[in-house]
Amino acid sequence: MEVIKVTPRGYCYGVVDAMEIARRAAKDPATPRPLYIIGLIVHNRFAVDELSQLGITTLDGPGRATILEQVTEGTVIFTAHGVSPLVKQRARIRGLNVIDATCPDVTKTHDLVNDFVARGYDVLYIGKKGHPEPEGVLGEAPGHIALVETEHDLDALPAFIHTAERLLVTTQTTLSQWDTARLIQTIRERFPHAEVQNEICHATQVRQEAVARMAVGADLTIVVGDPRSNNTNRLVQVAEELAGSRAIRIETVADLTPEMLAGKRRVAITAGASTPSQITREVIRFVESQGARVRVMPAPAEVPPMAPNEAPIATTGDSTYPDLS
């Protein structure tokens, strides 16, 4: 059996930074106690457990503003997903010490929305319902921004989108770039005057492109990550739809059995941007222990071709920064 260790994979720089910010806060005796994280620092329980051991309590719930209601003193850490202005304001009113670990790529989307709304635009934001990142971005411009997850949502848009003279279409950072391109194409057909700014982050794009190229020919692609991690689930989708490989998501090596690998000639392994490296290393070691011949392939040089109906989309993402995963 040949094993393809897809690269890049695993932690992105936004997650690395957020974890480091939280660790530093926990180790600094001057940080007001108790210490809370509002929502999961990243969608991975092992990362949450690590911070818990450092004395940081993770509070989770249906929305950041609601979660914040539980905190009356000490320090709150905002996660890499970002929060709405309302949450920041409530934390200030409560007199809490605030540490903001929002990923700079998410902040860029917040700034983009604010900039366009100030210039008279309304916004169609493509994102996942119930995910904390859209919650934060939507909170920037209530009454001027609508969330779209699938084509079906386009049939139930609020009136202000239909009457908008200026319309911005933008996206969550961790979506599938191919799904998003298709949805944007449909939106362009309905709203030809819309201006499109794709905000899928560089880390998400290169991980998806790596899987789309390197999992081709694999009998099985193993994606290591938490079930709540959007970018992890998108990697499964990319492996199946773009690379044509059967794909499974596992949380840890405990989810893997020799039977799952039996008869496989080639297995590709990757991990979501919120998956700690040691979890993925354990999976690789297990597969190696089954008699695998390991092959590390270089990062992809080009994006896999899109279907003919997928129009090119404008990208504001900075593709020059280093990938720290």
- Is-contact 42 18, C-beta < 8 A? yes
In the complex, minimum distance from the CB of residue 162 to ligand SF4, in angstroms, rounded to a whole number: 30
Nearer to ligand SF4, 171 or 231 (CB): 231
Q: Given the DSSP bridges, would you call strands 97-100 and 75-78 parallel, antiparallel or unpaired?
A: parallel
Work out whether the CA dihedral 43, 45, 50, 53 comes out positive or negative: positive
Crossing angle for the helix pair 13-27 and 45-53, to the nearest 10 degrees:
20
- Residues near ligand SF4, by CB under 6 A: 12-15, 80, 103, 105-106, 173-174, 201, 203-204, 231, 273
Please confirm, yes or no, whether 133 is among the known catalytic residues. yes
DSSP code for 58: E
Nearer to ligand SF4, 22 or 218 (CB): 22
In the complex, minimum distance from the CB of residue 166 to ligand SF4, in angstroms, rounded to a whole number: 26
In the complex, minimum distance from the CB of residue 97 to ligand SF4, in angstroms, rounded to a whole number: 23
Which position among 20, 73, 133, 302 bears the catalytic label?
Answer: 133
Nearer to ligand SF4, 256 or 279 (CB): 279
Using CB atoms, what's the residue nearest to ligand SF4? Answer: 14
Rg (CA), the chain: 21
DSSP per residue, 119-173: TT-EEEEE--TT-HHHHHHHTTSTTTEEEE-SGGGGGG--HHHHT-SSEEEEE-T
Nearer to ligand SF4, 144 or 234 (CB): 234
- Is-contact 125 134, C-beta < 8 A? yes
Nearer to ligand SF4, 225 or 300 (CB): 225
In the complex, minimum distance from the CB of residue 29 to ligand SF4, in angstroms, rounded to a whole number: 28
Q: In what order do the strands lie in the sheet with 97-100?
A: 56-59, 35-38, 75-78, 97-100
DSSP per residue, 309-324: T-----B---TTS---
Nearer to ligand SF4, 43 or 90 (CB): 43
- Token pair 């914040």 is at which residue? 68
In the complex, minimum distance from the CB of residue 281 to ligand SF4, in angstroms, rounded to a whole number: 20
- Token pair 């404008």 is at which residue? 314
State the DSSP H helix or E strand holding residue 203, giving kind and residue range, or none if neither.
helix 202-214
- Is-contact 306 25, C-beta < 8 A? no
Residue 303's contacts (CB-CB under 8 Å, 6 or more residues apart) are 205, 209
In the complex, minimum distance from the CB of residue 316 to ligand SF4, in angstroms, rounded to a whole number: 13
**Active site members:** 133
